[in-house]
Amino acid sequence: METLYSAESFGNLARWIVRGRGPLTSNVAEAAAFLRSSETLPAPDVELIFAPVLFEDEGLSRPSQHGVTIAAVLLQPRSVGEFGEVRLSSTSDQTVVVDPRYLTDPTGEDIAVLVRGLRRARQIAGIPPLSDYVREELLPRGAAVSDDDLIAHIRERSQTLYHPVGTCRLGTGGAPWSMRSYVSTGSRGCESSTPR
């Protein structure tokens, strides 16, 4: 089975240029499913995203081998609002530290939903015809079966999906679309909230 592992080749580039076909036409997230992690929920709380490539190092490095990814995405996180923090690392160092404090909701429901999502992803990977192509589970590995094992994996490997759902105004006033720096000299920020 060809995956995006081998997409960056001269042959695939030629196939894309001449025919508009091949792995370079992929949008990476080839399929998605919106699921309820519990039958009692009124709406989905988990998204499963399928990609025909191993998503390693947040997609910043070449995949290490052929493979697929089924990612569980938390749709309605409870770890929001006052839990996140943006600060300078120290008064002498102007490095900005962003701590979104993922998976810090006091109820633990965010983690519980992701455990259920991960279990569902495993279930789907084990059903033909997909299971015909899956040789082994690389992450979190098949030995990780208990809730504690899966929670440890989720805490170690979870990351953003790169399109947060909220914005806030920067600074204390001025034009809503300004690029003025309110933090330190030389830094820039883009205010992206909708003016009211």
Residues of the chain with pLDDT under 50: 177-181, 192-196
State the Cα–Cα distance between residues 153 and 6, nearest whole angstrom: 28
Q: How far is CA 80 from the centre of its chain?
A: 16
Sorted by where each starts, the structural domains of the chain and their CATH numbers stand as 27-157 (3.30.410.40)
Tokens at 173, concatenated: 């006033």
Q: State residue 194's pLDDT score.
A: 44
Active site residues: 163
CB 62 within 8 A of CB 54: no
Neighbours of 118 (CB within 10 A): 22
Give the tens place of pLDDT for each residue, 156-186. Answer: 988 877 665 555 555 565 555 444 445 555 5
Q: What is the pLDDT of residue 165?
A: 53
pLDDT digits (tens, 9 = 90+) for 24-40: 999 999 999 999 999 99
